[in-house]
Amino acid sequence: MAEIIMMTHGMTRAEQRGIFPGNESLDSDVLLPEKFSVQKGMNIVCANLTSSIRTVELLGLEFKIDFSIPVIDYGHWHAKALKELANEEEDELEQWLSDPYSAPHGGTSFKTLYDKTADWLEHVNYAEPTLIVADANFLRMVMIDVLKAPLSSLFKIDIAPLTSIKFVKRHDHSKISLFPSNIE
């Protein structure tokens, strides 16, 4: 198993405004690392999210979309501001922010996303070193799985745009490492 570098996509307009994202592009003035290079022969893939695709395009990298990378669906909360939900659906928002099994928005629960991510990690088998660009929730679930942390710990993990982790899986042992996004 080759090592996998996982990076969150750049900041979207929705994220910048505190709005639940759907599948929008990046903010027009997204800041990318000044120096960004990948090792020769590295496989570049991204989640099926416009923000992930656009990040890789702006970095000038050749890539493929990996449709098997799990992404979250915010259901009817898509395009709603967190402040708006705090007023209109306060109990549901509080439940969602404290119970990873809940999905009051009608979309994906964190538990479902975790299960899909754990299954993906179990079966992923890239032959060469790989860079994956996905969203922060995917990276959270990878971290929780590798650390064997309780699912509720996801509420204590903040991941900024363009954050990277390295994931290495060998036989029955997995490891993650944190490092800056200027991959060299």
**Predicted pLDDT of residue 31:** 59
For 44-83, the pLDDT digits (tens) are 999 999 889 988 888 888 999 999 999 999 999 988 888 9
d(CA 105, CA 78): 9
d(CA 22, CA 37): 29
- pLDDT band for position 184 (cuts 50, 70, 90): very low
Q: Which of 85, 80, 77 is nearest to 106 (CA)?
A: 77
Query: Highest-confidence range of 3-17, 148-162, 166-180, by mean pLDDT?
Result: 148-162
CA–CA distances in Å: residue 119 to residues 35, 112, 180: 34, 11, 27
**Predicted pLDDT of residue 100:** 96
Determine what percent of the chain is predicted with pLDDT higher than 90: 49
Task: Name the more confident of 11 and 145.
Answer: 145
Task: Name the more confident of 151 and 26.
Answer: 151
> How long a stretch of residues is the chain?
184
